[in-house]
Structure 1
Amino acid sequence: MLQNKIRQAVQGDHPILLALWQHSVKATHSFLTEQDIEKLYQGLKNEWLAQVELWVLLAQDEIVGFIGLNDNNVEMLFIDDKHQGNGYGKQLLNFVKQRYLQIYLDVNEQNPHALRFYQKQGFEIVGRSELDGQGNPFPLLHLAYQAT
């Protein structure tokens, strides 16, 4: 496998990340309505991308995924829907695992594919919330990873 490059995102990457996010969410978050997606998109565009430490994964000089961190909390991890299943999410998580011994993240309960992915990467469920971070009725599972 070719070695992909992970680099810190720059402001100029944001339009690409927003489009990638939108395609990924539409492919993986079937429980969200178009209105939900638009509301989240606006939050991402106007606020959330600027609030996290963003890293992008490039494969053959194309951004195929990104991860947003707040210290050892993974706030967002998205892979372009055309590139899912190629190990890119695992590469981004391994990048974070090299930096932190403990990692935390939330995953939507209605996204069992993502939950299985994170569990395969060593994350365990440590809690649950009825509402998402925006107060919407999309339950979250709180996950934690501890290096051994």
Structure 2
Amino acid sequence: MYKIEIVRKKDYAELIKVWEASVRATHDFLKEEDIEYFKPLILNTYFDAVELNCIKNSSNKIIGFSGVAEQSLEMLFVRPDYIGKGVGKTLLQNTITTLNIDKVDVNEQNQQALNFYLNQRFEIINRSELDATGKPYPILHMKLKKTTTK
């Protein structure tokens, strides 16, 4: 069982390390210059634009984090050695139940993330040829499927 914690600004240096390790493990379609382009944007702008939560391991190190803005999951990154161990699912379920998110955008080339969200009841509702910065990385816009009660 993982415990969700609120991220403080003092945690940003550790968060960016988790982000970079996760991106290098899961975003093999990105070029090195793309990672270097996004890294300062994430650290200096994007972290402040979202509500951040994290999970720490028994050594008190951040192993995964989520960022939410306006009912949209803007970021979900997990240290590579913790992928597949429930960290991402715990963070996602927390954002759904406590922050009421129902949307997420996923890089089309990130098959691992796409499969993860599809398995968590998200469906593709739209596609953009370019990412939000105008780079040629298609984005899949996903929405949480509504559950029906009988």
Q: Show the counterpart of 1:41.
A: 39
Superposed displacement of residue 58, structure 1: 1.8
- Is the 1:24–1:78 Cα contact (8 Å) retained in structure 2? yes
Encode CA deviations 1:107-147: one digit per residue, 9 max, x unaligned.
Answer: 00011111000000010000000000111000000000034
Q: Show the counterpart of 1:23.
A: 21
> For the residues of structure 2 that align with 1:79 and 1:91, how far apart are their CA atoms?
11
Encode CA deviations 1:51-97: one digit per residue, 9 max, x unaligned.
Answer: 11001112323211000000310000000111111011000011012
Stretches of structure 2 lacking an aligned partner (at least 5 in a row): none
- Is the 1:102–1:144 Cα contact (8 Å) retained in structure 2? no
- Is the 2:103–2:144 Cα contact (8 Å) retained in structure 1? yes
- Is the 2:73–2:101 Cα contact (8 Å) retained in structure 1? no
Q: Show the counterpart of 2:79.
A: 80
Stretches of structure 1 lacking an aligned partner (at least 5 in a row): none
Structure 2 matches for 1:1-148, cutoff 5 A?
3-60=1-58, 61-99=60-98, 103-148=102-147
The structure 1 segments of at least 4 consecutive aligned residues displaced by more than 4 Å after TM superposition are: none
- Is the 2:106–2:140 Cα contact (8 Å) retained in structure 1? yes
Residue type of the partner of 2:15? L
> For the residues of structure 1 that align with 2:70 and 2:146, how far apart are their CA atoms?
16
Task: Give the alignment's TM-score, normalised by structure 2.
Answer: 0.93
Q: Please give the root-mean-square deviation of Cα atoms over the aligned residues, in Å.
A: 1.2
Task: Give the alignment's TM-score, normalised by structure 1.
Answer: 0.94
Provide the identity percentage.
Answer: 40
* Matched residue count: 146
- Is the 1:5–1:59 Cα contact (8 Å) retained in structure 2? no
